[in-house]
Structure 1
Amino acid sequence: MEIEWIEQAQDVQRVKGSILRLFNESTLEEGMIGYAEPLTADESAELVDGIQRSVACGNGRLLLITDTEGPCGIAIMETNAAHNSRHVATVKRGYISPRARGGGLLARALIAIVEKARSLNVEQLALDTREGSRAHQIWSHLGFQTWGVMPDYSRYNGVAYRGCYMSQSVDALAAQVTRKTKGESNA
């Protein structure tokens, strides 16, 4: 298993196929990272260009996880450019392929996020997710607290869903991951 941070704009193009594979795979799970059906060529180009711009400006970092079968996990971490908010980063578009779940990959990804956050002097992580989704349950279980709710956050198959805006300190997340991985190894 390889966990790689993509921090150079030209490298986003190198992993473009992996990004699109994971985003398109996520459409099979009720559009969990924003797309209800496989991306069109234009949507694919726009998505990759957006990630590349974020990385090029120095605020975005792409976490890509691959195993022997190919890409199996992704997340984007964006730091805030505003002077008073540089201690906050947003984690978004996190997804782990169903075939790679349950083997400790989430813990490894979270450790990578914690380490990267600390290297950037980030102290708080923020995210948003659809209320009641598998992702919302996982983030809540990891100690993220909801600080805001948007009633019409996303729509899937004609149904409006609430969105939860959540946050947690990097240190608290590190402690949660450590507790959970120790608990799993003792079980």
Structure 2
Amino acid sequence: MSEASETIGTRRWFWPEDLTAHRVSLRAMLIASIEDEGILGYGDEITDADGDAFADELARGLRDGSTHVLLGEDDSGVFAMCVMRRPAMANCRHLAEVSKAYLAPRARGSGAVLELALAVAERLTWIGVERIQIDVREHSHAHRVWRGLGFETFGVLDDYSRYGGARHRGHFMTVTVPDLLRNTRTRIGRRRQTADTP
């Protein structure tokens, strides 16, 4: 299977088969998501070894087919990442989970999150996944974004994460892939209509 790629405006979305050329960008995305409080209380500063371990884990998942990595690139470099994983058990292959997603601040508010969600939905349709799940910290930016894309909470964990002496609730959310595809296409269409209105 060749690397899938789609260009929208000045943004290019692609699913690399080999992460060798993207290791530095992946480490930068991980660091940025922690600094942006996407992950609370990760600990010490991310080391080169942490970044290498993250990239190595993704590379192993790509090789065994359990992981799919979407990257978004613009004129300034990689600005988005979405990591999806599928269960190994045959009776759960209709499911996938977003295990990590990040959109750089420079792309926020530009419609890039809709493009990311559309690319994810199209990929999942192509590989035969019917439902996608994610878990997020309550009231986080990610919680609001995924809810806006049609994800609904199916479970809440009060002791989801701990940081600064406080416990944070987490939401486990899901949406069917056809609904995600429809939701993102509808929102992209509305956005384009608004942009075209004089």
* Gap runs ≥5 in structure 2: 1-10
TM-score normalised to structure 2 length: 0.86
Query: Cα distance 1:34–1:97, how it changes in 2: closer, same or farther (>3 A)?
Result: farther
Select between 27-36 and 114-123 the one with higher mean Cα deviation. 27-36
CA distance in 1, matches of 2:40, 2:27: 12
Q: Which amino acid aligns with 1:28?
A: E
**Counterpart of 1:99?**
106
- Contact 1:30-1:156 at 8 Å conserved across structures: no
CA distance in 2, matches of 1:29, 1:59: 27
Count, aligned residues: 184
Is residue 50 from structure 1 mapped to residue 60 from structure 2 by the alignment?
Answer: no
TM-score normalised to structure 1 length: 0.91
Is residue 122 from structure 1 mapped to residue 129 from structure 2 by the alignment?
Answer: yes
| Cα shift at 1:63 | 0.6
- Contact 1:27-1:37 at 8 Å conserved across structures: no
**Counterpart of 1:2?**
12
1:17-166 equivalences in 2 (<5 Å): 17-32=24-39, 35=42, 38-166=45-173
CA distance in 1, matches of 2:76, 2:189: 28
Identity of aligned residues (%): 32
- Contact 1:28-1:37 at 8 Å conserved across structures: no
Q: 1:71-118: CA deviations, max 9, x gaps?
A: 100011112221111111111211100011111111111111111101
Q: 1:118-165: CA deviations, max 9, x gaps?
A: 111101001111111011011111111111112221223333211111
